[in-house]
């Protein structure tokens, strides 16, 4: 390993605190032995996660949006004096562009992990247009998929840095029961639809197979509470568990206990080009996936590792019936091994690191 004084420096800027955004967490995990890494983020009051080899700088969110944005800019600018450093910014509305303009000679990479998923098409078009405009000021842009790059009109300049996952669970599933797991945001995901579909399946099959459904995640509009009320209305409190958010580093016991991963997003044009991290997390943990039929899920879900469905409760119910009928045909080890190309180690070592080296040259 290079001495730290000789290491090239990477500065990662992200609104999400360290360890609470899986992509940047794994960038750091697989780059920290070869680069001096600084991670700058908001302090949202969430549990602080540390990693040897990564220096984390928190910015306070006290004050109104202008006050705290200026504070964040100052802290970030104070960390990016080194012109040789690669400054990797997960798109941060306004702040990304401000940093680029205030340090015009620095090596910036704008990392786009999502387009707008707002339900209002006018708001969505406005946000995507602003993202496209801001991206024009960056020489280097990474984006999560070719589909999103084309949707934003930046395919000609963008480098595709796909989403990936790590093996969270090495336990091989026996499929004696159907224990479902959903991990992800609850914002704009209509996860209540999956509970309706699960209830229909539960009523029909509860005497034939042990069943449970764990939903891990949170949303800004009391989505957790709404889901818990729905679960209570159905009398499924002992079967369906809405846990709230759990740090990525603490997910292993939940993945060990689960047999089927739920990768559900509504079937809309704005989700269609968004690869779902959860799909890869489930596959790398040896689980078949019950996934909605997006163009990105179609690239990875096949007969041996899951089922593609529509986005209605009836579709979810039908998908569960298919999983139930095929459950003895799934092989955890085969599912995991076939998905290793989607591992973060592979993506960082064979994609991101080469891209950073190219920028440094």
Question: What secondary structure does DSSP assign to 237-300, as a single string?
Answer: TTTEEEEE---GGG-HHHHHH-SEEEE-----HHHHT---HHHHHHHHTT--EEEE--HHHHTT
Summarised one tens digit per residue, pLDDT across range 200-257 is 999 999 999 999 999 999 998 899 999 999 999 999 999 999 999 988 788 999 999 9
191 and 250 housed in the same domain: yes
The verdict on 150 and 203 lying in the same domain is no
Residue 253 shares a structural domain with residue 320: yes
Q: Within the chain, which residues score under 70 in pLDDT?
A: 1-6
Based on the fold, state whether residues 150 and 250 are members of the same structural domain: no
Task: Tell me the backbone φ, ψ of residue 38, rounded to 5 degrees.
Answer: -120, 135
Q: Is residue 201 situated within a structural domain?
A: yes
Looking at the fold, whether 221 and 107 belong to one and the same domain comes out as: no
Q: How confident is the model at residue 2, as a pLDDT?
A: 47
pLDDT, position 6: 64
Using alpha carbons, select from 240, 261, 274 the residue that is nearest to residue 149: 274
Q: Cβ(263)–Cβ(290) under 8 Å?
A: yes
Residue closest to 198 by CA, chosen among 43, 58, 338, 313: 313
122 and 206 share a domain?
no
What pLDDT is recorded for position 46? 84
Total number of domains constituting the chain: 2
Q: Which domain holds residue 312?
A: 178-341
Which whole-number Å values give the CA distances from 305 to 108, 165, 194, 299, 319, in the listed order?
Answer: 38, 16, 20, 12, 13
pTM of the entire predicted model: 0.86
Query: Are the beta carbons of 85 and 77 closer than 8 angstroms?
Result: no
Helices then strands, each counted (H, E), the chain: 15, 13
Q: In angstroms, rounded to a whole number, what is the distance separating the alpha carbons of residues 192 and 226?
A: 8
**Burial degree of 322 (CB within 10 A; 0-12, 13-18, 19+):** middle
In a domain, 171, yes or no: no
Instruction: Return the pLDDT at 81.
Output: 83
Q: Residue 328 carries which DSSP code?
A: G
* Cβ atoms of residues 169 and 261 within 8 Å: no
Q: Are residues 182 and 321 in the same domain?
A: yes
Residues 149, 27 share a domain: yes
**250-282, pLDDT tens digit by residue?**
899 999 999 999 999 999 988 998 888 899 999
Residues 171 and 150 sit within 8 Å (Cβ to Cβ):
no
170 lies in some domain: no
pLDDT score recorded for residue 226: 96
Question: Is the domain of 92 the same as that of 137?
Answer: yes
- Look at residue 77 in the predicted model and tell me its pLDDT: 92
At residue 2, φ and ψ (nearest 5 deg) are -65, 150
**Are 122 and 204 in the same domain?**
no
C-beta separation of 183 from 251 below 8 A: yes
The answer to whether 253 and 229 have CB atoms below 8 angstroms apart is: no
Residues 156 and 272 in one domain: no
Phi/psi of residue 211, nearest 5 degrees: -130, 145
| Count, residues in the chain | 361
CA distance 303 to 294: 16
Asked if 182 and 300 sit in the same domain, the reply is yes
The pLDDT, as a whole number, for residue 82 is 84
Domain holding 133: CATH number? 3.40.50.2000
Assess contact for 243 and 225: CB atoms under 8 A.
no
How is residue 199 written in tokens? 């209830």
> For residue 169, is it within any domain?
no
């Amino acid at each position: 390993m290079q001495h730290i004084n000789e290491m090239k420096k990477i500065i990662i800027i992200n609104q999400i605190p360290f360890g609470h955004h899986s992509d940047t967490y794994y960038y750091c995990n697989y780059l920290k032995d070869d680069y001096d890494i600084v991670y700058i983020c908001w302090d949202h009051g969430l549990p602080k996660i540390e990693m040897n080899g990564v220096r984390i700088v928190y910015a306070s969110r006290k004050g109104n949006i202008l006050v705290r944005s200026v504070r964040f800019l100052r802290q970030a600018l104070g960390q990016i004096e080194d012109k040789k450093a690669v400054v990797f910014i997960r798109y941060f509305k306004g702040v990304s562009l401000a940093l680029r303009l205030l340090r015009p000679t620095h090596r910036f990479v704008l990392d786009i992990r999502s387009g707008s998923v707002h339900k209002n098409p006018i708001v969505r078009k406005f946000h995507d247009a602003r993202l496209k405009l801001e991206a024009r000021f960056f020489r280097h842009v990474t984006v999560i998929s070719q589909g999103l790059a084309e949707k934003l009109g930046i395919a000609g300049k963008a480098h595709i840095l796909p989403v990936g996952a790590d093996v969270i669970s090495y336990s091989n599933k026996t499929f004696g029961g159907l224990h479902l797991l959903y991990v992800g945001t609850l914002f704009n995901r209509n996860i209540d639809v999956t509970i309706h579909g699960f209830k229909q399946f539960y009523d029909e099959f509860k005497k034939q197979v042990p069943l449970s459904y764990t939903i891990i995640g949170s949303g800004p509009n009391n989505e957790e509470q709404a889901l818990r009320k729905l679960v209570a209305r159905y009398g499924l409190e002992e079967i369906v568990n809405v846990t709230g958010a759990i740090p990525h580093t603490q997910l292993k016991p939940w993945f060990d206990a689960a047999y089927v991963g739920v990768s559900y997003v509504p079937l809309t044009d704005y989700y269609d080009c968004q690869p779902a991290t959860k799909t890869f997390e489930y596959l790398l943990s040896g689980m078949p996936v019950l996934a909605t039929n997006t163009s990105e899920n179609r690239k990875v879900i096949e007969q041996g590792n899951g089922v593609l469905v529509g986005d209605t409760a009836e579709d979810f119910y039908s998908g569960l019936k298919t999983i139930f009928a095929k459950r003895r045909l799934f092989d955890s080890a085969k599912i995991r091994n076939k998905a290793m190309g989607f591992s973060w180690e592979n993506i960082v070592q064979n994609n991101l690191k080469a891209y950073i080296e190219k920028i440094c040259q």
